[in-house]
Amino acid sequence: MDILIQQILNGLSIASVITLIAVGVTLIFGLTGIINFAHGEFLMIGSIVTWLAVQAGLSFYLALVLAILAVGAMGFVLERGLFRFTLTRPTNGFIVSLGLIVVLQHIIIFFYDPNQKSIPRPLTGIWDVGGVRIASVRLMVILVTIAVVALTFAMVTRSRYGRALRAAVDDRDTAALMGIPVRRYITGVFVLGSALAGLGGALLIALFPITPFTGGTMVMKGFAVALIGGLGNLTGAVVAGLILGIVEGFSAGYGFSAWTDAYSFALMILVLLFRPNGLFGGTSGPKMA
Amino acid sequence: MNANLSPLRSLMPALAVLIILALVPALGPSNRMLSLAISAGINIVALYGLSVLFGQTGILSMGHAALVGVGAYAAALLARDTGIGFWVALPLGGIAAAAFAAVIGIPSLRVSGHHFVIMTFAFGQLLTIVLTNGGDYTGAATGLDLQLPVTFFGSRADDLLPYYFVVLAFVTLSAIASWAIINSPYGRTLRAIRENEKLAASLGINVGRHKIGAFVVSGVFAGVSGVLLAYFLRHISPSQFASFPSIYLALMVMIGGARLLLGPIAGGILVSFLPEVLNLDPVQSRILYGVCLIAVILLLPNGLIAGLADGWQRLFGASRKQAPSPAAGGKHASEAGR
């Protein structure tokens, strides 16, 4: 039982990173209609930035902030430079993002070789709570994720910007007439989603060593979670991330760790079969006429 | 190139290119060039399947390499467990991949657009995981070896040169099959679905069944390509058929132009030989592919060949021939392969 709780905690810490991807993916799709498959590479670059900063002697937390800023800036450039031109043809945007996967991954391999990269654990403490050993770094990852996701959620549902954004999703033209700078908001959402990927990357390398190929598997899981919850649905993404974390934790606890990677895909296929809109109902993205 | 060409004449450019390719060995190419050409040819067979699916029906699959993998593993398993050789494995590999495509397609095509793409991606990834966890039967992560020789009427055909002609024959067959599909009523049905699914359905076309049909057809091409690949490489492993190879296949077909008969040949050859010509290492060449893909999508959405044809027509077409069909401008050139 103790081992099970521990495995579930482990599962949840990885699921936190996946949830950050899923929230980014779902946010970007729900509010801009862009499907960015290169989101996993954004995450990987976040990890690489963290790794470089820590190697340069900066503290992990400073490195984390740098990763968020760097990946956010990259998101800005790529949205303005590439995705902007595909807004009316989302399939093209999707294909562009596939090209970006190849480009970003191999640029990193070109400059920093394809080998594993790791940083010393930023937190080394391990607490013993009634026989369950909790690594503080895992708890930190879970707590940071909860805080950031809650903040994002509040921003989208409560703030003035969030309301304006959702108005723009419902009816672009009217929103524009009301003085909402729709284009700028789309860029803003893309940058926010990218920054979340940067944060996810920093948290991921605090948990595990990464390689330039990490992004590929992580983005698939992120998309799986986003689709299970319903693409475009923030709450759905968070709940689905939680489910995946628990399922993966259970499976590792009962000795099926070789199949861990299969669950997210199998779960997604099952959910899409019976509820093509996801468990909590997705959106079809904004209409980009 | 004109829209009202007889269907047979639309096959001519592709056949001309293939005849040129058949004459290439007379130039005495190096072994490296020949093996590059063979792997390009094997890719082209698979790309023809993808072009039927994406170019004609408008469905993008990111699991095409997985279907190639089914063909390849079918060949390797048949050879190991039953001693069935190359020529029998070819149709069986095609059938196996087609069956797998049906198994993937029936649930996946319940969702459309991006959801479908992501589903095929997931199925591709799942297949890799299953193959990796398959123990001794699938050879786990190391994969399988294949030792049976390829013979052609009693003589060995494993060497690079004979195998080049075997592969070229299958490229020709795929081009002709693809041409036959494009010019058949079936091809028109698929294009109707691509252009407007709802309208097609309202005309009494069973959209779901035809989409699955197109997916299965693309699986046959992929399976045959997989058998060719297994007998060429002699060793196959799960990572060769994961989602990234699928991305490269999609990239090749889009760089060449998915709707044109020449597109897969152009894409396959270009992507295989460009790094060699420019003397790039694999990492640099992949960066180049990615950049090419993005540039093609943003600047020439119909692929390179169609883009060139359009440019040619815009420069010379108008002045040379005033009529008969002034409307056959750039738009038609990109569809001339029909």
Total domains in the fold of chain A:
1
Q: Name which of B115, B283, B294 is nearest A276 (Cβ-Cβ).
A: B115
B135 pLDDT above the threshold of 90: no
* For range A67-78, the mean pLDDT: 94
The residue of B57, B129, B248, B289 whose CB has the most chain A CBs within 10 angstroms, and thus the best one to mutate to test that interface, is B129
- For residue A141, being part of any structural domain is answered with yes
- Average the pLDDT over each of A43-57, A61-75, A216-230 and give the range with the smallest value: A216-230
Query: Which tens digits make up the pLDDT trace of B295-330?
Result: 888 887 766 777 777 777 777 765 544 444 444 333
- For residue A289, being part of any structural domain is answered with no
Q: CB-based burial of residue A77 (10 Å sphere; 0-12 exposed, 13-18 middle, 19+ buried)? A: exposed
* Interchain pair A102, B118: CB under 8 A: no
- Average the pLDDT over each of A221-235, B144-158, B267-281 and give the range with the smallest value: B144-158
pLDDT value of position A104: 92
Quickly state the pLDDT bin for A197 (edges 50, 70, 90): very high
Query: In chain B, which residue's Cα lies nearest the Cα of A263?
Result: B126
B107 pLDDT above the threshold of 80: no
Taking the CA of residue A111 and the nearest CA in chain B, the distance in Å comes to: 10
- Long-range contacts of A119-128, Cβ-Cβ distance < 8 Å, separation of 24 or more: A119/A50, A119/A51, A119/A54, A119/A55, A119/A60, A119/A63, A119/A205, A119/A206, A120/A54, A121/A206, A122/A59, A122/A60, A122/A61, A122/A206
Q: CA of A151: how far to CAs of A39, A40, A155, in Å?
A: 20, 22, 6
Quickly state the pLDDT bin for B62 (edges 50, 70, 90): confident
B222 pLDDT above the threshold of 90: yes
- For residue A229, being part of any structural domain is answered with yes
- For residue A281, being part of any structural domain is answered with no
Measuring CA to CA, which residue among A14, A269, A70, A285 is closest to residue B121?
A: A269
Question: In B133-262, which ranges are continuous DSSP H helix?
Answer: 135-138, 160-182, 185-195, 197-202, 207-233, 243-256
pLDDT value of position B217: 92
Q: Name which of A90, A102, A220 is nearest B286 (Cβ-Cβ).
A: A102
pLDDT value of position A70: 95
A48 pLDDT above the threshold of 50: yes
Total domains in the fold of chain B:
1
- For residue A287, being part of any structural domain is answered with no
* For range A115-142, the mean pLDDT: 82
* For range B138-166, the mean pLDDT: 75
A131 pLDDT above the threshold of 90: no
- For residue B210, being part of any structural domain is answered with yes
Close Cβ partners of A229 (under 8 Å, ≥ 6 residues apart): A22, A26, A235, A236, A237, A238, A239, A240, A241, A278, A279, A280, A282
Quickly state the pLDDT bin for A67 (edges 50, 70, 90): very high
pLDDT value of position B332: 40
- Average the pLDDT over each of A78-82, A284-288, B49-53 and give the range with the smallest value: A284-288
Q: What is the CA radius of gyration of chain A?
A: 19
Q: A105 contacts in B (CB within 8 Å)?
A: 286
- Evaluate the CA torsion angle A240, A245, A246, A247 in order and state its sign: positive
- For residue A163, being part of any structural domain is answered with yes
- For residue B50, being part of any structural domain is answered with yes
- For residue B199, being part of any structural domain is answered with yes
Residue B156 bridge partners (DSSP): B151
pTM of the prediction? 0.81
pLDDT value of position B6: 66
Close Cβ partners of A159 (under 8 Å, ≥ 6 residues apart): none
Q: Which residue type, as a one-letter code, is found at position B105?
A: G
Q: Name which of B121, B286, B301 is nearest A220 (Cβ-Cβ).
A: B121
A73 pLDDT above the threshold of 90: yes
- Parent domain of A76: 2-274
- For residue A194, being part of any structural domain is answered with yes
* Interchain pair A86, B298: CB under 8 A: yes
Query: Which tens digits make up the pLDDT trace of A214-247?
Result: 888 888 888 888 888 888 788 888 888 888 888 8
Structure tokens at B253: 């077909």
Q: B292 contacts in A (CB within 8 Å)?
A: 99
- For residue B159, being part of any structural domain is answered with yes
* Interchain pair B293, A224: CB under 8 A: no
- For residue A186, being part of any structural domain is answered with yes
Cβ-based neighbour number of residue A271 at 10 Å: 20
Q: What are phi and psi of B136, to 5 degrees?
A: -65, -30
* CATH number (domain holding residue A93): 1.10.3470
Measuring CA to CA, which residue among B39, B67, B331, B87 is closest to residue B214?
A: B67
Quickly state the pLDDT bin for A279 (edges 50, 70, 90): confident
User: Which residue in the block uniquely carries the two structure tokens 């498959």?
Assistant: A37
Cα–Cα distance between B76 and B12 in angstroms, integer? 36
**Position with higher pLDDT, A54 vs A247:** A54
Taking the CA of residue B179 and the nearest CA in chain A, the distance in Å comes to: 26
Q: What are phi and psi of A106, to 5 degrees?
A: -80, -25
Q: Which residue type, as a one-letter code, is found at position B315?
A: L
B57 and B211 in contact (C-beta within 8 Å)?
yes
pLDDT value of position B44: 92
pLDDT value of position A288: 46
- Parent domain of B217: 14-242
The residue of A36, A96, A98 whose CB has the most chain B CBs within 10 angstroms, and thus the best one to mutate to test that interface, is A98
Q: Which of A246-260, B66-80, B248-262 has the highest mean pLDDT?
A: B66-80
pLDDT value of position B3: 47
* Interchain pair A265, B130: CB under 8 A: no
